[in-house]
Chain A
Amino acid sequence: MADLVFHPDEVKVVSRRFGQGATDIDRYLELDGYKAVEKALAMEPDAIVNEVKNSALRGRGGAGFSTGMKWSFVPKQSAKPKYVLCNGDESEPGTCKDRLLFEHDPHAVIEGVVIGGLAVGARSGYIYIRGEYRYLSVIMQKALRDAYAKGFLGKNIFGSGRDFDIYWHGGAGAYEVGEESALMESLEGKRGIPRIRPPFPAVVGLWGGPTVINNAETLANVPHIILGGADWYAKLGTPKNGGTRLFCLSGNIAKPGVYELPMGYNLKKMLYEVGGGIPNRRKLKAVVPGGSSCPCLTADEIDVSMDFDSVMKAGSMLGSGGVVVIDDQQCIVKFALRTMKFYRHESCGWCIPCREGTDWLEKTLIRFHAGGGLKKDIDNMQYLSENMLGRTFCPLGDAAAMPTIAFIKKFRKEFEDHLEGRPCPYEPEGAVERLPVLSH
């Protein structure tokens, strides 16, 4: 059980039932549960899509694409069955919000899947939960059984004459599977290797049928939009960035935790007021604003509104809501190395720029951190990263390259401090095994 936190600036939409016992279906019903599905059943599919479009809800998995727009790409007529796939393969380092959703409000996710299905004309959906989250799979499976028992799922849901099935599916450890096309491969019982697009999943997805894939948090927002209305939801955030976000504060911060704040909340305020600032009398060095794949922002760059467009303008991404704080006692080279080690480990190996690029970058960073780097390696790392961008089937290659480019650009001096035999200035003498400079 993960601890909950609270701050007065929070605006509780998807987290409003956290800690309220809403995993129990009867308790969930007392808390306005399943009212949104009943309302959606009386709506035309296009009206649901429009409501979600107008709410300015954007994908919470990281890409920030308009959810209503995504739904509108699903063809009305299809020879093959259509599906809704909930992406609960949360694994972007820095991100731990879907865990709370599944733990505290699984029925909201179920409702979101049903409403998505009604909007696009699907009759079944899958909720994919990462393998490590076994206790959450247990909670979700019970929630699904309870919903079936009440007639909210299965044949003739709510006596509407319509059928809708939702099944749980579990992973077994793979970051790459959080990418939508790899997610479908994994669900089909294969290695999680991405598919080339087009065709996009909305047209050719699971088992060849049109498929809507949304992050768990995105789907959990949908019932609130249907009940509260698009206008209410849109106004909680900033223009084109509707609603709130579950921000996961982690790293060198006094009060880490998952906080639900309005879209567009100021990052500086988030760190110093909500998060209580940097502990141990240290100073902020950098912050990764949206999960490990997002370029870092330096301490001078944090006066930014946390919505997709503003963070993009500031040169990074809002990503998955994982705000990782780095204090001045941390070594950026080591941080970049740990990030790259992750991407090298998780690269599925399908696309050469990603497979080889992450491996070369990790090896170079290991050497660098151990005092065996050359000045030209700094430029080489940058060149290599830039050449990975946009050259892979899925964004994992970009996810590895983008933060590296930013670390080098913004903290070049720290890289230079590690040059030619110098040990890492942040580690005690002898803590890092020294590697010789390669003469090349």
Chain B
Amino acid sequence: MKFSEEFEQRFAEMVPHYPTKRSALVPTLLYAQDEIGFLSDEVIAEIAVRLDLTELEVRNVISYYSMLTTQPRGKFNVQVCTNISCMVRGGEEILEHCSQNLGIGHKGTTPDGLFSLEEVECIGACSWAPAAQVNYDFHENLTPDKMDRVLEEYRKSGKQ
């Protein structure tokens, strides 16, 4: 299992910040996922060894956090918030619109592996609702048209 130089640097810097090794687990998992795309068996085994944990202990933690996944996702993970502040400003319509545009439903992935779609809980964009995140980027004050433009940009950048 080989991670990037950047990951290794981050990991080496992070572990001594805590009195116990396992404390670095959650951020380490997220950085690993960002790099590999999902938490594969291989990644889980590697992180378990590094932090002196069993694979079961690592899986136990993964299953708790909504951002962590053991299944591959699309290159661009479109996460649409439909919680209360977004809902009353049309968040559900945005989700439905994305579903139409991409041809997939909640937790689905397009056949070309470019997009996946997820209905998510509050992402902290309430005052700029409705909002979505594509990977880590926020897109706010959305309308169906604006959402189409956002998706089109990613579609273009993904095909390059």
Say whether A associates with B. Answer: yes
Q: Is B3 interfacial (CB-CB < 8 Å)?
A: no
User: In the complex, what distance in Å separates the CA atom of A291 from the CA atom of B41?
Assistant: 39
User: In the complex, what distance in Å separates the CA atom of A169 from the CA atom of B25?
Assistant: 10
Partner of B20, one of A131, A173, A188: A188
Chain A nearest CB: distance from B43 CB in Å? 14
Chain A nearest CB: distance from B135 CB in Å? 8
- Residues from 13 to 54 in B contacting A, C-beta threshold 8 Å: 17-20, 22-27, 29-30, 51
Q: Is B85 interfacial (CB-CB < 8 Å)?
A: yes
Contact with A along B122-160 (1 / 0, CB 8 A): 111111110001001110100000000000000000000
Contacts of B64 in A (CB 8 A): 174, 191-192, 348
Q: Is the CB of B84 within 8 A of A91?
A: no
Closest to A257 in B: B127
Q: Is the CB of A95 within 8 A of B124?
A: yes
Closest to B125 in A: A96
Partner of B85, one of A90, A94, A133, A257: A94
User: In the complex, what distance in Å separates the CA atom of A207 from the CA atom of B18?
Assistant: 9
Q: Is A421 interfacial (CB-CB < 8 Å)?
A: no
Interface size class of B (residues with CB under 8 A): 35 or more
- Residues from 78 to 122 in A contacting B, C-beta threshold 8 Å: 81, 90-96, 98-99
- A192-B64, A339-B84 given; A175·B121 CB < 8 A: yes
**Total inter-chain residue pairs, C-beta < 8 Å:** 150
Chain B nearest CB: distance from A316 CB in Å? 15
Q: Is B67 interfacial (CB-CB < 8 Å)?
A: yes
- A131-B30, A322-B126, A324-B84 given; A189·B25 CB < 8 A: yes
- A188-B23, A189-B20 given; A172·B83 CB < 8 A: no
Contacts of A81 in B (CB 8 A): 19
Chain A nearest CB: distance from B115 CB in Å? 18
Contacts of B27 in A (CB 8 A): 169-170, 172
Q: Is the CB of A174 within 8 A of B65?
A: yes
User: In the complex, what distance in Å separates the CA atom of A2 from the CA atom of B140?
Assistant: 8
Q: Is A300 interfacial (CB-CB < 8 Å)?
A: no
Contacts of B124 in A (CB 8 A): 90-91, 95-96, 98-99, 130, 132-133
Partner of B88, one of A99, A187, A330: A330
User: In the complex, what distance in Å separates the CA atom of A200 from the CA atom of B12?
Assistant: 32
Q: Is the CB of A170 within 8 A of B127?
A: no
User: In the complex, what distance in Å separates the CA atom of A326 from the CA atom of B89?
Assistant: 10
User: In the complex, what distance in Å separates the CA atom of A81 from the CA atom of B87?
Assistant: 45
Chain A nearest CB: distance from B140 CB in Å? 7
The 3 A-B pairs of least Cβ separation, nearest first, read A173-B67, A189-B25, A173-B66
Instruction: Give 22 CB contacts A-B under 8 Å.
Output: A3-B140, A93-B85, A94-B85, A96-B125, A99-B125, A134-B136, A169-B27, A170-B27, A170-B30, A171-B65, A175-B122, A187-B23, A249-B127, A251-B84, A251-B89, A258-B127, A292-B122, A324-B126, A338-B82, A338-B87, A342-B121, A348-B64
Residues on B lying within 8 angstroms of A by beta carbon are 17-20, 22-27, 29-30, 51, 60-61, 64-68, 82-85, 87-89, 121-129, 133, 136-138, 140
